[in-house]
Structure 1
Amino acid sequence: MSGVSVEDIQEEFADLDLDITDGDVLLKIKELCDFYNIDANKISCEYFSYNTKSKLHTGKPPTLDSLVSFESEKLKHLRGPRRPLDPIEGVENLPDCPELGTPTRLTAAGAGKRNITPDGQINKRFVNAIGSPSLTPQSSPSLNSSQVTLKYSDRSNKGETVLAHSKDAPGDWTPSNDPAEISLKALTLTSPYRFMYERLRERAAVLDETICRLGDIITEKYDLGEPMDTRLTQVEPQVALGRICCDSEGHLNSNSVVLQGSMDATGGHSIHLDLSKLDSYSLFPGQIVGVECTNPNGSKLLVSKLYSELPTPSPVPVEKDQCTEIYTACGPYTLNDSDNYQPLLDLLDIVQETRPHLLILVGPFVDSRNKVIDAHTDSYHQIFETMLKQIYSALEETRTEVLLVPSQRDLHENFVYPQPPYSLGEPSPWGSKIRSVSDPGVFSVNGVNIGVTSSDILFHLGREEISFPPRAGDRLSRLVSHLLSQRSYYPLYPPSLEQNIDFEHQEKHGLLQEPPHLLLLPSDLVYFIRDVEGCTVLNPGRITKGSAPGTYSKLLVQVQQGKLSFTAEIVRI
């Protein structure tokens, strides 16, 4: 396939934490791409799937030897009479960028052809991430548990700091002696609710209200006036408001972008967008935007200007001087082919020794992707309670408070988003030592607002986003900015098939009404720390990555004379 470069291949594999430094391996992968007529995105997906199921290669970058078995197992079935992709449907319009994939501009040679939305690619959201267990059940859990535990315990880089943020910042960073004051913010979900009773009419009303609500913010910021009715032809430039959609079931690309208007302005009318005159754009399905455009023949809006950046309010100031120490980790807390939660115990040993103010543990605890758990004699909830007992007994005599965040991958909890807090019992046997917040949740620690969601929105959003020009700017920061701009913890629509959303409750409990000071976004993407629009954003990674150890984060939050600062480290378990 023309257009596939070793740089593209290297960056696509790096997205999945597989760093390829061997030039011969890169050239071999390029050779496979050319021979099987596939792009860098697809071969990284295929190898990702192969890699997570291979005991010999899990978590390791490809080698020349592993590529031989990979080709035999995954690529042979692709060989056959295959129609070459037309230039306009080829790699130029497929996801292709450092974090997950972004299309490039249409080439002049293909500008006259009709684009077909590519829908034959393997989707990374259906591939078991390295940080998530495999779906393959094990025949001998006890044997595998001992083998994996031995492999885990033999790791040589535990305690290594892999990423630091503002490590040498000036000031006194000694943690305060006072205990942390933790409180839930308004509108945070606090109790279970009935789900799977949502009617299509109610969902449609919520989606339409989102267009109206964010459309009003766009109109006010840019002083746009009344939006145009896209059902009517218009030869003079006017502004239309609506939701970005895709014209088919495939991935969004520059020729499949549709704008759906509100019921008030357009009666819910949808119309294609011509983006060829734009110098830059970043779009994803579900995004609410404004476009300055003409509609000369009623079939397509010719866009001359895009209004996609909604104003983000500044986080509320913090008055109390303090220095708070927070540790954060994201599950699964067992290796993917084991029911042994040694990684959790190792983390608790570290916390027991350092005694931070707060430990935030994000699910899953009883992971739906770990089929070894099915062979366990205890129920799912009993397994969860056993882990809670371990947490409580390790930290009972320390000042550290524990805050749990549920995950839709938890087998013992309801599969719905927004997700209620974990059921800890009434009254809770853990007292105030262990508490739970919903997903998504917003809480305050000594006046510092922290938002968190266990849904992998960055992975889902990055898979669907398109951007031009390609590889422009920091992609991770751009993905985060979409959440802040759209004022939602999950702005993607339609959502990933991994995400079961109750839209009425999302409207009540899943919006980012105001940006928090700290936003925790655990993801299968590589760990990172970013400052985005006045908000510090952290992905600590997962504490286990398949059958290998992962990472967690240490965070210091300092407030001095009203100025808020963060230092952070991401550390190997």
Structure 2
Amino acid sequence: MAVEESFMTSVSKNFGPNTKLSEDEYDKLFSLTQIFHNDLEDLYIEWESFNFAEGEDLELQMTNLIKFHDYLQNKLTNNKFTPSSNKVNKDTNSGRKPLSKRSMNNENTPSTPQIKKRKTIETSSPAPGDYDTANNTFTTSPIKATKQSHTLLETLNPQIESFELTTKDINPVKLAANFDPSKYKFRTMQMKLLESADVLDDQIDTMAELYQEQNKTEDLQFGNPCLSSQFDIICCGRIVPDSPNYNQEILNNKSLYLETSRLSGVGQRIPLDLSKLKGYSFFTGQIVILKGRNPTGKEFYVEQVMPMPQLGTPVSSKEELEEFETLQNGEGLKVVVASGPYSNSNKLAYTKLENLIEKINNDIHPNVVILNGPFIDLTNKEVEQGEFTSLPKDQQPRNLDDVFKIIITPLLKKIDSKIQVILLPSLKDSCSDHCSYPQDSFDRKKFQLPKNIKVFPNPSSFAINEMLIGSSNLDIFKDLKEVLKQDDTLSSNRFDRIINHIFDQRRYYPVIPGSIATITTQSENVADLSNGASGEFLNGLNIGGSCLEIPYMGLSELGSSIPDVLILPSELKVFAKIVKGVVVINPGQFIRPSKSSEVEDGSYVVLSLLPPKVNEIDENNVEKVANENDLYHHNIYKRSRVDVYTS
């Protein structure tokens, strides 16, 4: 069977422009889309997961496609369940400081004394016009071993020329943390059911209030979707599966329920009929506002999915921007972003990280370096076995904290002291006190880190001069599974849809219940864990997953504005793109897991930002806010260049 030319073009688009297959291989790929009812984009996501499970980048050829077929079949037949959805969230203001005087009147606005002048503007659209460009999405294929280190892969906004910084004696950076570190000092593994239920209810009720606030002129009739009604109502609730022990891989439009809050519907759940919708993208844990009716009292017929209340955009005053421009001496800023693991999965070898640090000091000369964990990966074979053969015999550690101090601390101390370094932990970090999300920061004193290194929690929001950055080191792109019906209103790009969900839900990780990492060869029923399983069932679990600390999920909220830059590390395809005026970056893994101890492929990112020019008329620089004399949109997406390099 000869496949159509359009299918071959789509293969090239999703699997990389250099993909050249034989006719039989195209036929095999086409048959996989038919057998498993996946489009090519979803199939590529599965292919990336398959590569990750195999521990190496496989060529797209017939032998590997047959193995891929077996992998998909086993994945479909095995029972892989997520934890029960009765694990939930707490006070949404738990991580918020008091508002500054110039902030908008929004109770959830994260703020600190260092950024008192920063405020947000509530607009009908979350950005000063959606910004789209032909190069706003990378279509890079998986990194191959033939790539040399520090080879440029792709560039976002290549029209902005790369520049060198001349002022190297003083770092012209003001770093402002947009969180309260004391809120992350909670004790883990102490979730209480009523506290979790209060948080989940509050998420629904808060979203309903925001919708009513932003639609005051409309005649809104909010009602209980669980009660019989012969006329259309508007309701707010959470998308949940039909059973706590559900298989996330085969969740479909027939297995979705709407969960109400105790205030709006006594916490009841009602099945959803989505047949009248032309298009939708739903996932478990999603807060939605629906219009429809329940004529029989047994099922809610959805007529329309209402648009969610939108966040504002960050702005700064003219005085602030002039101060930053003067501080930078009219020059731009450079930020390096990398995400672990930083060693091969078979041994603790940090030669690549040492080479990157050398390049940072001698060639790149950035103002800020953002390093996401894991630094000492719990899944590393030496860590798992407790035998550190990579270390000298006279430096054998007593514990994993010693491993960090012996290996990582000396490397970080080699970074030029004038460069500001930010460390964010991962749930796979062996030296983090918190094994759940949201996650407390590293202990800077314990690891003897120098003063130029800041330790931030995961997730966190912070500002580098005027640039507001949001960073969450938990793989939302892998964990969020959609029930999708495509139409013209939805982006055809899965990454774009997930990023839009983050903005709409106002949380870095909106999936509930969270993911659970399982060993692919394990066939045990993991759902038994929700009923208090015996120890032998734990054999099917692997280190990883989201491990959500629901009562403190308020710490994972975006606040009252979308960031200028959103950093979301993922093991899936590295990319940098612009969505709703936000520069979204997945730096990829610095070293991708591999079965071979010699293969160390990966990537990192360099962001170059032009200085703010308040007194010059330039459509690609800061932009004055309408009806405001002294406030300006940052327009980071117009004046930043993002380069992706091999590690």
Report if TM-score (shorter chain) is over 0.5. Answer: yes
Checking the alignment, whether the CA contact within 8 Å between 2:260 and 2:268 is kept in structure 1 is yes
Letter in 1 for 2:581: G
Checking the alignment, whether the CA contact within 8 Å between 1:404 and 1:437 is kept in structure 2 is yes
Q: Distance in 1 between matches of 2:208 and 2:8?
A: 39
Checking the alignment, whether the CA contact within 8 Å between 1:259 and 1:271 is kept in structure 2 is yes
Residue 560 of structure 1 aligns to a residue whose secondary structure is: coil
Q: Distance in 1 between matches of 2:33 and 2:154?
A: 33
* Pairing partner for 1:523 from 570, 577, 593: 570
Q: Residue 83 of structure 1 corresponds to which residue in structure 2? A: none
Q: Distance in 2 between matches of 1:200 and 1:182?
A: 38
Residue 469 of structure 2 aligns to a residue whose secondary structure is: strand
Q: Residue 379 of structure 2 corresponds to which residue in structure 1? A: 369
Checking the alignment, whether the CA contact within 8 Å between 1:59 and 1:546 is kept in structure 2 is no
C-alpha change, 1:50 and 1:493, in structure 2 (3 Å) is closer
Q: Distance in 2 between matches of 1:535 and 1:472?
A: 16
Q: Residue 93 of structure 2 corresponds to which residue in structure 1? A: none
* Pairing partner for 1:533 from 580, 593, 614: 580
Once structures 1 and 2 are overlaid, which stretch shifts more, 431-440 or 173-182? 173-182
C-alpha change, 1:11 and 1:410, in structure 2 (3 Å) is farther
Letter in 1 for 2:466: G
Letter in 1 for 2:549: D
Q: Residue 197 of structure 2 corresponds to which residue in structure 1? A: 204
Q: Residue 608 of structure 2 corresponds to which residue in structure 1? A: 556
C-alpha change, 1:30 and 1:339, in structure 2 (3 Å) is same
Q: Residue 546 of structure 2 corresponds to which residue in structure 1? A: 499
Structure 1 residues 55-96: Cα deviation after superposition (integer angstroms, max 9, x where no partner): 7xx21223234456667x858x96xxxxxxxxxxxxxxxxxx
Q: Distance in 2 between matches of 1:475 and 1:32?
A: 19
Residue 569 of structure 2 aligns to a residue whose secondary structure is: coil
Checking the alignment, whether the CA contact within 8 Å between 1:312 and 1:515 is kept in structure 2 is yes
Q: Residue 108 of structure 1 corresponds to which residue in structure 2? A: none
Residue 562 of structure 2 aligns to a residue whose secondary structure is: coil
Letter in 2 for 1:350: K
Q: Residue 468 of structure 1 corresponds to which residue in structure 2? A: 486
Letter in 2 for 1:502: E
Q: Distance in 2 between matches of 1:489 and 1:64?
A: 38
* Pairing partner for 2:496 from 470, 477, 493: 477
Q: Distance in 1 between matches of 2:144 and 2:491?
A: 41
Residue 315 of structure 1 aligns to a residue whose secondary structure is: strand
C-alpha change, 1:362 and 1:25, in structure 2 (3 Å) is same
Unaligned runs of 5+ in 2: 84-142, 389-395, 517-544, 595-599, 615-621, 623-633
Residue 409 of structure 2 aligns to a residue whose secondary structure is: helix
Q: Residue 254 of structure 1 corresponds to which residue in structure 2? A: 253
Q: Distance in 1 between matches of 2:203 and 2:167?
A: 42
Q: Distance in 2 between matches of 1:38 and 1:9?
A: 19
Shift of 1:28: 3.5
C-alpha change, 1:166 and 1:124, in structure 2 (3 Å) is farther
Aligned: 1:264 with 2:246: no
Aligned: 1:221 with 2:214: yes
Q: Residue 27 of structure 1 corresponds to which residue in structure 2? A: 27
Letter in 1 for 2:503: L
Shift of 1:440: 0.2
Letter in 1 for 2:469: I
Residue 571 of structure 1 aligns to a residue whose secondary structure is: strand
Summarize the alignment of residues 67-466 of structure 1 with structure 2, pairs less than 5 Å apart: 67=65, 120=77, 155-169=146-160, 174=165, 178-179=170-171, 180-187=173-180, 191-222=184-215, 223=218, 225-248=220-243, 249-251=246-248, 252-317=251-316, 319=321, 320-321=324-325, 322=328, 323-353=332-362, 354-373=364-383, 374=385, 375-376=387-388, 377-378=396-397, 379-396=399-416, 398-413=417-432, 414-425=434-445, 429-461=448-480, 463-466=481-484
Shift of 1:270: 1.0
C-alpha change, 1:123 and 1:399, in structure 2 (3 Å) is farther
Q: Distance in 2 between matches of 1:383 and 1:8?
A: 50
Shift of 1:313: 0.8
Structure 1 residues 470-512: Cα deviation after superposition (integer angstroms, max 9, x where no partner): 9843332221111111111111111112111112222145444
Checking the alignment, whether the CA contact within 8 Å between 1:16 and 1:526 is kept in structure 2 is no
Letter in 2 for 1:437: F
Checking the alignment, whether the CA contact within 8 Å between 2:334 and 2:366 is kept in structure 1 is yes
Checking the alignment, whether the CA contact within 8 Å between 1:489 and 1:511 is kept in structure 2 is yes
Once structures 1 and 2 are overlaid, which stretch shifts more, 372-381 or 254-263? 372-381
Checking the alignment, whether the CA contact within 8 Å between 1:234 and 1:295 is kept in structure 2 is yes
Q: Distance in 1 between matches of 2:460 and 2:272?
A: 36
Aligned: 1:546 with 2:590: no
Shift of 1:20: 4.6
Q: Distance in 2 between matches of 1:385 and 1:7?
A: 54
TM-score normalised by the chain length of structure 2: 0.69
Residue 313 of structure 2 aligns to a residue whose secondary structure is: coil
Residue 551 of structure 2 aligns to a residue whose secondary structure is: helix
Residue 204 of structure 2 aligns to a residue whose secondary structure is: helix
Checking the alignment, whether the CA contact within 8 Å between 2:370 and 2:422 is kept in structure 1 is yes
Once structures 1 and 2 are overlaid, which stretch shifts more, 557-566 or 336-345? 557-566
Q: Distance in 2 between matches of 1:569 and 1:383?
A: 32
Q: Distance in 2 between matches of 1:332 and 1:17?
A: 24
Checking the alignment, whether the CA contact within 8 Å between 2:257 and 2:272 is kept in structure 1 is yes
Q: Percent identity?
A: 23
C-alpha change, 1:480 and 1:236, in structure 2 (3 Å) is same
C-alpha change, 1:541 and 1:449, in structure 2 (3 Å) is same
Unaligned runs of 5+ in 1: 79-117, 127-151
Residue 552 of structure 1 aligns to a residue whose secondary structure is: strand
Once structures 1 and 2 are overlaid, which stretch shifts more, 174-183 or 261-270? 174-183
Once structures 1 and 2 are overlaid, which stretch shifts more, 403-412 or 533-542? 533-542
C-alpha change, 1:157 and 1:508, in structure 2 (3 Å) is closer
Shift of 1:46: 7.7
Checking the alignment, whether the CA contact within 8 Å between 1:540 and 1:553 is kept in structure 2 is yes
Aligned Cα root-mean-square deviation (Å)? 3.6
Letter in 2 for 1:325: K
Q: Distance in 2 between matches of 1:51 and 1:13?
A: 18
* Count of residue pairs brought into register by the alignment: 498
C-alpha change, 1:18 and 1:169, in structure 2 (3 Å) is closer
C-alpha change, 1:522 and 1:465, in structure 2 (3 Å) is farther
TM-score normalised by the chain length of structure 1: 0.77
